[in-house]
Structure 1
Amino acid sequence: MKLLLLGGTAWLGRTVAAAARDAGHDVTCVARGSDVPPGVALVHADRDRDDALASLARTRWDAVIDVARQPGQVRRAVQALEPVAGTYVFVSTVSVYASHAERGGDESSETLAPLDADVMDVLEQYGPAKVACEQAVLAGFGPERSAIVRPGLIGGPGDGSGRTTYWVRRFAHPSNPPGTVLVPDAPDLPTSVIDVRDLADWLVRLAAQRTAGTFNAVGDSMPFPAHLQTARDVAGHTGALAAASADWLRAHDVDEWAGPRSLPLWLADRDAYGMGDRSNARARAAGLALRPLAETLADVLAATAGQDARGMQALGAGLTDDEERALLAARAAG
């Protein structure tokens, strides 16, 4: 397959490029950066320019994979490449859904209104921007020549957000001698993780097989305590868990989901529980294969083995050692 990858230098895109190369495909990446895998061709281009893909529109491509989030970039790509590309695989997100209150929702769930503008200015526009991108692909290539892939939480080695790296790292590197780890008391919270390598391999197969459709590319759902136990088992953690309620955590300025001073993956609002519990039945029927969470977390731990405990502060999410110790002391004091 002659594959054009719009992206290829950031985490997911680079993993897709490597997967396609390893599968024997002829891969060309279009990006502003230069960090593409060895053996992959690179075309430097600024997709904010109207003529960014003009030179590539003179070549016949079996497939295009696009990871963009800006509607204008996707609209221009569809216009330029529709005459010369066989199929278009667009990487969207489950953030396109209008509600996350429903658990087990499939691809027929209502989506947000699309962003009218070509440029997403703030993160709050991420879901609407991806809806606009999806609509541009479907309008240009039609449903029979396009695949819309909606990933959930992507994890594994290289996760710079820290959402799938914090817990296994924290259990492997407790902040205190007894090894106590602060966790949210969220027994019913569902979580799901798709390994970036599984997603990349499947995107390449979709493109090569010209599989059409809209798919939730999400991991199998499991309760948050089961996710924590898997991380503990991988890390060999034997210390205690100090569970804290949502009210207590909020009162002590602990954030949800991601970012500094957070407990990653934790969501207090039950109306958001669908984020970790979407149906992946259609994707599995189309060949999506998922490795066990334990394998993903073990590889994360191996990839970060050279970092000390303070290395967690650079992972984008979680509590620093000092923050966790202070919170544990506050909890013990009542």
Structure 2
Amino acid sequence: MRILVLGGTAWLGGEVAQVALERGHDVTCLARGESGQAPPGVHMVAADRSSAAAYGLVADQDWDGVVDVSWQPGFVRGAVSALADRAATWVYVSSGSVYAAHGTPGADEDAALLPALEGDVADRESYGEAKVACEQAVLAGVGADRAVIARSGLIGGPGDHSDRTGYWPLRFAHPATEDGSVLVPDTPDLGTQVIDVRDLARWLVESVEQERAGVFNLSGDVTPFGEHLATARRVAGHDGPLVRVSSPWLVDHGVEEWAGERSLPLWLHSEGWEGFGHRSNAAARESGLVLRPLEETLRDTLAWELKTVPGRPRKAGLSPEDERDLIAKARAQSRG
């Protein structure tokens, strides 16, 4: 098949291109090329999607599938306008951030959405609304019978530069303390969902092959946080102490949720987010989504982390200094 990936030089787009190549397809990537190199073997078309002429070199060709990961409504509208009539299947990678609320465990694709962003340019504060606008552009321009809307959850695996899925196995492999202690939230039942980037990419390519259509939550299976941490410890070979602290204690000590500076990745405490790591992926499962075990994802992510620079500045997690300080405070408080 002839597959056009709009992107293909960053993490997910590159993985989609690689999977498509491995499955014997003819792959073209259209991108500026500033996020990295497309996989060897693809046809690379350098283009700036903000330009009216961005699609000039690909708009006169027929495509079995177009895969787009952009979150800028203007880019998506431009692509649909130029290419919709030339694509048999259009796969748009959206996000679970499109949902208006995240408090209901088990919610599916029928849950209410945020209002669509007006305008063509989005910032990170309007990410969810921008993705809704992109979805609407695809469905209006391509048609629901030829479009796949893949609402991705947290993506993990080798190459995760967000540091959310690599933090825990790496910290267990290299504790910040001399006795191997690691600070963990005492929230064992909190739902977590991680979809391996390789499994997501395979499903996206299969959507072109099978001419799928519809809206799907592409999330990992629900894993309680305690089980997630136990798996991360196992792949890291960690047997040191765990310093368990409550969510209110973490909030009182300035630890952030989910991601970002001075955070504990995947941990959530705020009211109304009880279903964020507990969305239904039943429709995607029924369509053929195959998920590898979490242990494999975390093991491979740890291997990738150890090949990069483990001491690099990170986008999520506690610094070793912060963790040592927090562990000392938690132990002092427990001694009372």
Q: TM-score, normalised by structure 1?
A: 0.97
Number of equivalent positions: 331
Match of 2:94 among 92, 95, 108: 92
Aligned partner (choices 27, 32, 55) of residue 53 of structure 1 = 55
Structure 1 equivalent of residue 148 of structure 2: 147
Match of residue 27 from structure 2 = 27
Query: Alignment partner for residue 110 of structure 1, among 97, 109, 112?
Result: 112
Please give the per-residue CA displacement for 1:7-45, whole angstroms capped at 9, x wherever unaligned: 001100001110001110000000001510000111011
The letter for the 2-side match of 1:37 is P
Q: Does 1:206 pair with 2:211?
A: no
What is the distance in 2 between the residues matched to 1:306 and 1:142? 44
Q: Distance in 2 between matches of 1:129 and 1:305?
A: 35
Question: Runs of 4 or more off by more than 6 Å in structure 1?
Answer: none
Alpha-carbon offset, residue 304 of structure 1: 2.3
> 1:169 deviation in Å?
0.5
| Deviation per residue, 1:270-310 (Å, 9 max, x gap) | 411211011111101111100000000110111223457xx
Give the Å deviation of 1:313. Answer: 4.5
Residue 247 to residue 75, structure 1, CA distance change in 2 (3 Å):
same
1:9 aligns with 2:19: no
Residues 189-200 of structure 1 aligned to structure 2 (within 5 Å): 189-200=190-201
Match of 2:84 in 1: 82
C-alpha distance in 1, partners of 2:214/2:228? 30
SS of residue matched to 2:220: coil
SS in 1 for 2:199: helix
- Aligned partner of residue 82 in structure 1, secondary structure: helix
Counterpart of 2:332, as a letter, is: A
Stretch of structure 1 that moved more, 17-26 or 237-246: 237-246
Amino acid paired to 1:70: Q
TM-score by length of 2: 0.96
Separation in structure 2 between the aligned mates of residue 248 and residue 52 of structure 1, nearest angstrom: 51
Q: How far, CA to CA, are the matches of 1:260 and 1:241 in structure 2?
A: 22
Give the percent of matched residue pairs that are identical in Structure 1 and Structure 2: 56
- Give, as a single letter, the amino acid of the residue that structure 1 aligns with 2:117: L
Name the CA distance, whole Å, in 2 between partners of 1:198 and 1:255: 29
Q: C-alpha root-mean-square deviation of aligned residues, in Å?
A: 1.1
Structure 2 gaps of 5+ residues are none
1:247, distance to aligned residue in structure 2 (A): 1.9
Deviation at 1:330, TM superposition (A): 1.1
Describe how 1:142-291 pairs up with structure 2 within 5 A. 142-291=143-292
Deviation per residue, 1:102-133 (Å, 9 max, x gap): 1101101111100011000x312000000000
Deviation of 1:70 (Å): 0.3
Distance in 1 (alpha carbons) for counterparts of 2:308 and 2:142: 46
Q: 2:311, 2:284 → 1: CA distance?
A: 33
Deviates more, 1:314-323 or 1:32-41: 314-323
1:188-230 deviation line (CA, Å, top 9, x unaligned): 3100000000000110000111100000000000111110011
Alpha-carbon separation, structure 1, partners of 2:37 and 2:270: 39
Structure 1: tracts of 5 or more residues without a match: none
